[in-house]
Amino acid sequence: MVRVLGTEEEVSIIYRSLKPETEEVPRYRSKVSLSVEGGSLTLTIVSSKVSSLRASLNTYSRILLALLEIQGVVGEGARLRDSPPE
């Protein structure tokens, strides 16, 4: 289980971005589910084999890190635009 904490808006964006990845292709070796409660997103991966669990965890970790990085860049850009001109 992986838990991501943030604002409700940030967690909602991550959830909507990840949800298609959990439904798009049938997962025969791993089952992935997402749940959201307030500012907390929980990613649960269940697998019968350690190698499949590791592969799924690596995949979703990379996606999560990319999404968090994008949110950071977008957030910084929004703050920069909100700054008064010099």
Question: For each successive 10 residues of the chain (86 residues), what is the average pLDDT?
Answer: 87 89 72 91 91 90 88 58 48
pLDDT for 76 equals: 56
In contact, 67 and 14? CB cutoff 8 Å = yes
The model's pTM: 0.72
pLDDT for 71 equals: 78
Query: Which amino acid type is present at position 17?
Result: S
